[in-house]
Structure 1
Amino acid sequence: MGFGSDQGLNDNHRLSYENAIRSFASSDRASAAPMDENNAREFLRYVNKFSKKSKQRCGVIDLDKIQPIVETEVDQEKENEENLAYVCTYYNNIPHCPDDMNLTHELLNKIAVLKLNGGLGTTMGCRGPKSAIEVRDKLTFLDLTVKQVEFLNTKYGVDVPLILMNSFNTDTETERVLSKYSDHNLKIFTFTQHYFPRIDKHTMTPLPTGPFSKENAHQWYPPGHGNVYQSLVDSGLVEKLLGQGKEYIFISNIDNLGATVDLNILYEIMCNDREMCMEVTRRERQDVAGGSLFEYLGKPKLLEQRSMPPKEWEKLKRLASSSPFGTMFNTNNLWISLRALNRLALENKLLLDVLFREKEITDNTGVATMTLQLETAAGAAIEFFDNSFIVFVPRKRFLPVKTTDDLFAVQSDLFTVRHGSLSLRQERKNMIAVPTVKLGANFRSVDEYLKRLRYGVPDILELEHLTVSGNVHFGEDVALKGTVIIVAEEGSRIDIASGSVLKDNVVTGNLRILEH
C-alpha cells in the first residue's frame, strides 16, 4: 500500500477537497456510516485530523523550520549529554551483535515479526492476497516469511511469533492458507486492520448505506499501513505480547523480500532503549513511493509528496540535497517498542498525518463513482516516539516486488535462497545491485509473464538494463548481458531462441531466431 504523488490533483482540487472534508467532519454524515465502535472511532479521528490539518494548510508545518536529517554519532554517553531526540547513522557504523548464543537467544526471545498483509495482487493481474503469489522455487511470499522465522526459532531455540495484519480483502483467504503451516516451528497470529467507508466525492456522504458485507465490500477500504498501530492495539495482541515478555515488534511489507530480522539492528535498539527504529536506504529512479525524512522542531518527520503542494515539495527536495542523507527514503522496515506503542495509544498521541487519495470504483451494475479515501503511513509515527533511531541500510534490505519487473529480478540467477532469505550472488556485488528491468504491457499479469517465460527467467548475471516491449517470448538457457532492448512491432512476435546470448543488442521488428 505505497503512497505516491497526487497525480492530476492541482491546488484547486486539493482546496476543494479540504473544504468538503471540513464540511463532512462538522456534520452528522461522518458518524452516519454504519461501523462498529473501533472502526467508527478511527474513521472519525482520521476525518477530524485531516479537517484540522487542511484548515491550516499543510498542517502546522512551518517550512522555514524544516532541516535536512544529518548523521549523528552512535554514542550513548554523548546522546545523554546532548539530549538528542534521535540518532541517524549508517548501518556500518552500528556495533555488531557479539557472537554469543546466549545473548542472541535473549534478544530474539524479546521480539515478534509483523508483516503487512493487507494487499491484493491486482497490480500483477492476480486475485487474492499478494502474499499467495509464487515468487521463487514455487514458494510464495508467505512461504518465504514462514521459513525465515522458523529458521530463527530452530537455530537459536527461541519463540519468535509471526503476526500478519490482514485487511478485509485478504483475511479469509489468508486464514485458509495458514493451515498448511500447522506443523511448522512457529506461532502465527493474525488480526484485521480497520475498514473505512469510501466517501462519494460529489455528495460528500459515505458510500455504503448498510453494514459491511461481501456484496458492498467495494464501498469500503483499508486505510493504509499507518493503521497498523491502533489496529494492533485494538486486537489485544500488544498486551498479549507484552505478557509473553516481548519488547519489540519488527514491522515490514510482506512483499519486501529483503526485510529479515537483523541481529545488529536488534542489538543496537535494545542496548539503547530505542522506542522506534526506521530503516532508510538510497532512493533510486524506480522508487516512486516511500516518504522522505526531515528534521522538524528537533524531531524526525516523515513527509509524503502528496501531502505537500508541488512548489513546496520542490523546495524540500532542494533542501534535502544539501545533506548526504538527502537521497534516503523510508523502506517501511520499522522496529517498534511495544511498551512505547501501548503508552502512546492509551494516551491517544499517535496522531499520524492523514493523506487523501481519489479513486474511481465501479459497482456490480457497471456504474462508476469517484470516491475519496483517507490514509496514513506507518513511518509517520516516528515523530511521536522518543529516542528514535534512523539507520541507513544497504539496498539488499529493500527488495520489494510490486510488479512483474521486480518479479523478473528476484526469480533470476542474481539471487540465491537459503532459509527463506534471498542473497545477491557474489559475482554481482561489483556491479549495480539489481539491473533496471522494464517489461511491457504484455508481461504485466503473472499469467502472461509466465507464458512468455515458460523456461524461466534468462541468465541476467551480467545484465545492466533490459527493456522488452510487445509480444516477446524467451526460449530455454537464454543469457542477457549489458544493455538489451527487444521491441516487437504491433501485431508481430519475437521469439528469442533457446541458447541465445544477447549482449548490448537491440532486437526489433518481426523476428523468430531459430536454432540450427
Structure 2
Amino acid sequence: MGCVGPKSVIEVRDGMSFLDLSVRQIEFLNETYKVNVPFLLMNSFNTNDDTANIIKKYDGHGVEIIPFNQSRYPRIYKDSLLPVPKDFDSSISDWYPPGHGDVFESLYNSGVLEKLLERGIEIIFLSNVDNLGAVVDLRILQHMVETEAEYIMELTNKTKADVKGGTIIDYEGSVRLLEIAQVPKEHVNEFKSIKKFRYFNTNNIWLNLKAIKRVVENDELELEIIPNGKSIQKGDSDISILQLETAVGAAIRHFRNAHGVNVPRRRFLPVKTCSDLMLVKSDLYTVKHGQLQQNPARFGDAPLIKLGPHFKKVSDFQKHIPSIPKIIELDHLTITGAVNLARGVTLKGTVIIVANEGSTIDIPPGSILENVVVQEACAYSNTKRAHSCLISSPAVFSR
C-alpha cells in the first residue's frame, strides 16, 4: 500500500489508526470487567523503533502495552542458496522477519512468555493488527476453557474472494493447516473450490501459554517452510532472493485438543489493499468502543470492491477518492484508470468505471451511479474532451 513505517498507524476510521482502535477495544474491556488485560505487539526490526515512539501517546489510556521483537533471519540468494549477509553487521536489507510462525519462539526468547505466566495469564488471543474484525470474544474464550483446548483457530465461510485462503484438514488422523503454496499445480483449482473447502483460516488464533512453553522447550515445533521469492537491489542490479517463512496456523498439530471454530464473517475484516481500506472507511460501518459494527441498513455480505493500479498506494487512493462514497446499497465496484470521485457520490448495485490510459474520468459531486458502466466514450455525459471525461453534475445513472 506504499506505506513507510508501521502499517498499524494508517488512518482507517474517524481519524483513528489500527493501533488506536485496538487500544480503545482493550481499554473498554479493562474498564468493563475491572481487569488489566495487556496488549502485546510483535514487531520486526523494521518497525520496532517507530512503534516504541508511537505507543508513548497511549500513556494514561489504562492499557499496558508490551512490545517485543521477532527474529531476524538472513535472506538467501535464489541461484546459489547462500546467505546474502556476510556477517551480523551486514546491511539491514540483507535480513527479513520470518513470518508470524515465529511468534512462539519470539515470545519465549524475549522473556515475555515467562513474565505473562508469572502474572497468572494463561491464554492469549493472536491476530493481525490490520484485521479490524479481530476483537476479543468471551464466548470463544469460554469454549476454549470448557474444551481444554490448547489451540483454537477461527475459521469463516469461504467466498470467491477467499479462494486462496488456507484451511484445516484431517491428515492421517491429525489436524493440519493446508496452504495454497503447498498444493500441487494440478490440484489448485480443487483447493480453491468453495464447495470442497468451505472454510478458511482468519489468522485469529487462541493459544495456551503453558502449552507454548512446553512445545518450545521440548523443541517440538516443526512448521512447514513457505518459500517467498523476492528481489532486492544490489548495486545497479535486481537480485532474486528467497525468504523462508512460517505461518502460525501450521503449529496447530502440535497442541492438544486443537481445533477450529466457525465464526461469523464480521470477525474477518482485513485491510491488505486500498480496496479494503475504502470498505472499512465507508458508511457500511460505525465504530463503537473501537470495534467496527456493520450498519443495520446493509443487507447481506459486504460488497466486492476492486480498485486498479492507480489506487495501489494510500497517497494515490486519497488523491483520487478524497471523500468515501455512500455504498450501503453497493454490490460490486470496479474502477480502472485515472478516476476521481468527488464528494457526496452514491454507488448502488454494480458500478464499473473505466478510464483508458492517458485519460481521466471525473465523477462530480452528488452523483448517483446505479448498475452502470462509465467508460471513455462518456455515453452518459454532455461534456466530451480528447483526454478527459467530465460527467455532468448532478448525475443519476442507471442501466
Counterpart of 1:482 in structure 2 is: 349
Report if the CA contact (8 A) 1:321-1:327 is conserved.
yes
Counterpart of 1:297 in structure 2 is: 172
Greater share of strand residues, 1 or 2?
2
Q: CA RMSD in A?
A: 1.6
Cα distance change, pair 377–265 in 1 and its aligned pair in 2 (3 A) = same
1:425 aligns with 2:295: yes
**Superposed CA offset, 1:135-159 (max 9, x none):** 1111111111111111101121111
Picking from 66, 74, 80, the partner of 1:189 is 66
The TM-score with structure 1 as length reference comes to 0.72
Report if the CA contact (8 A) 1:468-1:485 is conserved.
yes
Q: Secondary structure at the match of 1:253?
A: coil
Q: State the one-letter code of the partner of 2:349.
A: G
Q: Could you tell me how far apart the structure 1 residues matched to 2:133 and 2:282 are? A: 15
Picking from 387, 390, 397, the partner of 1:512 is 390
Cα distance change, pair 317–514 in 1 and its aligned pair in 2 (3 A) = closer
Cα distance change, pair 289–169 in 1 and its aligned pair in 2 (3 A) = farther
The TM-score with structure 2 as length reference comes to 0.93
1:353 aligns with 2:224: yes
Picking from 266, 271, 292, the partner of 1:401 is 271
Q: Could you tell me how far apart the structure 1 residues matched to 2:277 and 2:141 are? A: 29
1:343 aligns with 2:343: no
Identity %: 47
Counterpart of 2:379 in structure 1 is: none
Report if the CA contact (8 A) 1:484-1:504 is conserved.
yes
Counterpart of 2:202 in structure 1 is: 331
Picking from 21, 25, 29, the partner of 1:152 is 29
Q: Could you tell me how far apart the structure 1 residues matched to 2:355 and 2:238 are? A: 35
Counterpart of 1:259 in structure 2 is: 134
Counterpart of 1:120 in structure 2 is: none
Q: Secondary structure at the match of 2:375?
A: strand
**Superposed CA offset, 1:280-327 (max 9, x none):** 011222225431211012221001121232235556667x945xxx21
Q: Could you tell me how far apart the structure 1 residues matched to 2:126 and 2:346 are? A: 37
Counterpart of 1:464 in structure 2 is: 331
Report if the CA contact (8 A) 2:126-2:204 is conserved.
yes
Q: Secondary structure at the match of 2:127?
A: strand
| Cα displacement (A) at 1:471 | 1.1
Q: Secondary structure at the match of 1:489?
A: coil
Counterpart of 1:268 in structure 2 is: 143
Q: Could you tell me how far apart the structure 2 residues matched to 1:353 and 1:225 are? A: 13
Q: State the one-letter code of the partner of 1:442.
A: H
Report if the CA contact (8 A) 1:277-1:390 is conserved.
yes
Q: Could you tell me how far apart the structure 1 residues matched to 2:351 and 2:310 are? A: 17
1:281 aligns with 2:151: no
* Equivalent residue pairs, number: 383
Counterpart of 1:453 in structure 2 is: 321
Counterpart of 1:439 in structure 2 is: 307
Q: Could you tell me how far apart the structure 2 residues matched to 1:159 and 1:361 are? A: 43
Picking from 20, 27, 46, the partner of 1:169 is 46
| Cα displacement (A) at 1:271 | 2.2
Q: Could you tell me how far apart the structure 2 residues matched to 1:126 and 1:317 are? A: 30
Counterpart of 2:361 in structure 1 is: 494
Q: Secondary structure at the match of 1:391?
A: strand
Q: Secondary structure at the match of 1:396?
A: helix
Report if the CA contact (8 A) 2:175-2:259 is conserved.
no
Cα distance change, pair 468–125 in 1 and its aligned pair in 2 (3 A) = same
Q: Secondary structure at the match of 1:306?
A: helix
Report if the CA contact (8 A) 2:229-2:241 is conserved.
yes
**Superposed CA offset, 1:18-68 (max 9, x none):** xxxxxxxxxxxxxxxxxxxxxxxxxxxxxxxxxxxxxxxxxxxxxxxxxxx
Q: Could you tell me how far apart the structure 2 residues matched to 1:259 and 1:305 are? A: 23
Report if the CA contact (8 A) 1:212-1:220 is conserved.
no
1:126 aligns with 2:3: yes
Cα distance change, pair 483–198 in 1 and its aligned pair in 2 (3 A) = same
- Higher alpha-carbon deviation: 198-207 or 458-467: 198-207
Counterpart of 2:397 in structure 1 is: none
Counterpart of 1:73 in structure 2 is: none
Counterpart of 2:258 in structure 1 is: 388
**Superposed CA offset, 1:363-401 (max 9, x none):** 3x3322111121111001111111113101111000000
**Superposed CA offset, 1:160-202 (max 9, x none):** 0000000011111111101101111010001110011011122
Q: Could you tell me how far apart the structure 2 residues matched to 1:172 and 1:289 are? A: 33
**Superposed CA offset, 1:201-223 (max 9, x none):** 2222111112145xx11111111
Picking from 229, 236, 241, the partner of 1:366 is 236
**Superposed CA offset, 1:89-143 (max 9, x none):** xxxxxxxxxxxxxxxxxxxxxxxxxxxxxxxxxxx11111110111111111111
Q: State the one-letter code of the partner of 1:348.
A: D
Specify every segment of 5 or more residues in structure 2 that has no aligned partner in the other structure, as ranges.
377-387, 395-399
Q: Could you tell me how far apart the structure 1 residues matched to 2:165 and 2:212 are? A: 22
Greater share of helix residues, 1 or 2?
1
Counterpart of 1:224 in structure 2 is: 99
Specify every segment of 5 or more residues in structure 1 that has no aligned partner in the other structure, as ranges.
1-123
| Cα displacement (A) at 1:434 | 1.0
Q: State the one-letter code of the partner of 2:49.
A: T
